[in-house]
């Protein structure tokens, strides 16, 4: 009886220059207005949506960015069994393109991206994308809330009362969005409840602290060193004259969480570092089956 031979399909790596308006109908649409992709850096294709790309289960997508507007498209690709990696620092493309002496085009951006080391790309999962989209909406509401409060300070009493009504309505929307984010975090990240307990977050007054924690959690994986997490959030000593590169939304969430826990807006970076260490340690001590769903 002959042995059965099974063929294993080689994993294909698709490098994609993402255009956030690729799926929109526009007049005089050029190639640069689509998602441009390649496997070998020689043959290129264009796609109106990510689903038009012929990636199959087991294949990998390497992208320069993941726009919030295209979250559903990326989730669809993940459900196909395609792995998705995004570039940690998009500015590396321009730097690499300059080194290679290439002009600014989508195809040359892809050629430059293909030369970058794998360490510059981070794999994402559905849980991260869902929480990230909800958090972006919350941050938008928060930004408007701060802006309205600042404007109210410059108004007369009668005018201020009118604006305050809008502020209260906005605060209701923020609370509703925060509750939605917390519910998703509890459903998607088993370690989330343990961290809430470890930090002593409780009561309705701590709803926004729970929301901030939900934003931070997807960025921490048990196999990642605490030092690396610190660096990701900018908790390291920089060099004079050199800009720090770190995840600003995640750092902002950590700052809000620390302020809520300490009841002090004007806390120190060391306070944020202590909170982050407690989060990381709690996750690290969780059972293997309670690992976070997706790093970012």
- Which residue in 52, 51, 54, 48 sits closest to 23, CA to CA? 48
Name the domain boundary from 124, 154, 170: 124
79 and 183 fall within a common domain: no
At 212 the pLDDT is 97
144 and 259 fall within a common domain: yes
Would you say residue 30 lies in a domain? yes
Q: What span, in angstroms and rounded, lies between the C-alpha atoms of 225 and 144?
A: 35
Domains in the chain, number: 2
Residues 74, 66 contacting (CB under 8 angstroms): yes
Name the domain boundary from 79, 98, 124: 124
Backbone phi and psi for residue 183, each to the nearest 5 degrees, phi listed first: -60, -40
- Which residue in 233, 234, 216, 208 sits closest to 142, CA to CA? 208
Would you say residue 148 lies in a domain? yes
Fill in the DSSP letter of residue 248.
H
247 and 138 fall within a common domain: yes
Would you say residue 6 lies in a domain? no
3-state DSSP percent of the chain in helix, strand and coil, to 5: 55, 10, 35
44: β partners: 38
At 5 the pLDDT is 53
Distances in whole angstroms, Cα of residue 241 to Cα of each of 58, 229, 238, 244, 269: 43, 23, 9, 10, 20
The number of helices, as runs of H, and strands, as runs of E, in the chain is: 10, 6
81 and 136 fall within a common domain: no
136 and 77 fall within a common domain: no
At 197 the pLDDT is 94
201 and 257 fall within a common domain: yes
At 133 the pLDDT is 96
Q: What span, in angstroms and rounded, lies between the C-alpha atoms of 170 and 84?
A: 35
Would you say residue 2 lies in a domain? no
Q: Kindly report the CA angle at 277 between 275 and 282, in degrees rounded to 5?
A: 100
Would you say residue 96 lies in a domain? yes
Would you say residue 5 lies in a domain? no
How would you list the strands of the sheet with 13-17, edge to edge?
44-47, 35-38, 13-17, 60-63, 83-87, 121-124
- Positions of the chain with pLDDT lower than 50, given as ranges: 1, 289, 291-296
136 and 282 fall within a common domain: yes
At 241 the pLDDT is 66
276 and 135 fall within a common domain: yes
Q: Global pTM?
A: 0.85
At 24 the pLDDT is 86
What are the CB-based long-range contacts (under 8 Å, 24+) for 284-290?
284/222, 286/190, 286/191, 286/194, 286/222, 289/190, 290/190, 290/191, 290/194
Write down the residue that tokens 């926004």 correspond to.
208
At 194 the pLDDT is 94
Q: What span, in angstroms and rounded, lies between the C-alpha atoms of 264 and 216?
A: 19
Would you say residue 296 lies in a domain? no
At 26 the pLDDT is 74
Domain that holds residue 256: 128-290
């Amino acid at each position: 009886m002959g042995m059965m031979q099974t063929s294993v399909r080689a994993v294909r790596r698709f490098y994609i220059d993402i255009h956030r308006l690729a799926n929109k109908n526009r007049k005089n649409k050029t190639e640069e207005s689509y998602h441009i992709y390649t496997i070998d850096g020689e043959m290129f294709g264009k796609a109106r949506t990510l689903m038009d790309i012929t990636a199959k289960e087991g294949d990998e997508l390497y992208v320069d960015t993941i726009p919030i507007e295209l979250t559903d498209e990326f989730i669809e690709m993940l459900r196909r069994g395609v792995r998705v990696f995004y570039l940690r620092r998009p500015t590396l493309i321009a730097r690499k393109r300059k080194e290679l002496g290439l002009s600014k085009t989508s195809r040359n951006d892809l050629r430059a991206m293909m030369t970058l080391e794998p360490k510059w790309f981070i794999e994402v999962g559905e849980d991260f994308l869902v929480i990230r989209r909800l958090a972006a909406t919350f941050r938008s509401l928060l930004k408007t809330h701060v802006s309205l409060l600042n404007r109210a300070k410059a108004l007369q009493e009668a005018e201020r009362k009118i604006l305050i009504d809008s502020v209260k309505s906005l605060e209701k929307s923020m609370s509703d969005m925060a509750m939605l984010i917390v519910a998703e975090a509890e459903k998607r990240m088993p370690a989330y409840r343990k961290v809430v307990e470890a930090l002593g977050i409780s009561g309705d007054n701590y709803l926004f602290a729970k929301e901030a924690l939900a934003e931070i959690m997807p960025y921490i994986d048990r196999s990642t060193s605490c030092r690396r997490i610190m660096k990701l959030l900018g908790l390291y000593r920089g060099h004079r004259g050199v800009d720090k590169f770190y995840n600003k939304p995640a750092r902002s969430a950590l700052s809000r969480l620390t302020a809520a826990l300490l009841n002090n807006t004007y806390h120190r970076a060391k306070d944020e570092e202590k909170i982050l260490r407690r989060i990381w340690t709690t996750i690290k001590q969780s059972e293997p089956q309670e690992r976070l769903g997706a790093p970012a």
